[in-house]
Amino acid sequence: MLRIAYWLESEWSKKVADNFVKKLSEKVQRLIISPYAGSPTRKDKNIRKLSVDSHYKIYYKVSGYTITIIALFETSQDPKRNKYE
What are the DSSP calls for 4-65, one per residue? Answer: HHHHHHHHS-HHHHHHHHHHHHHHHHHHHH-TT-SEEPSS-TTEEEEESSSSEEEEEEEETT
- So what's the pLDDT on residue 11? 83
- Strand partners for 72: 58
CB 30 within 8 A of CB 37: yes
- Residue ranges per structural domain of the chain: 2-81
Identity (one letter) of the amino acid at 59?
Y
Mean pLDDT by 10 residues, the chain (85 residues): 77 87 93 96 96 94 95 89 89
What per-residue confidence (pLDDT) applies to 40?
97
Q: What b/e sequence results for 5-30 when a residue is b if at least 16 CB atoms lie within 10 Å of its CB, and e otherwise?
A: beebeeeeeeeebeebbeebeebbee
Query: Domain 2-81 sits in which CATH superfamily?
Result: RelE-like (3.30.2310.20)
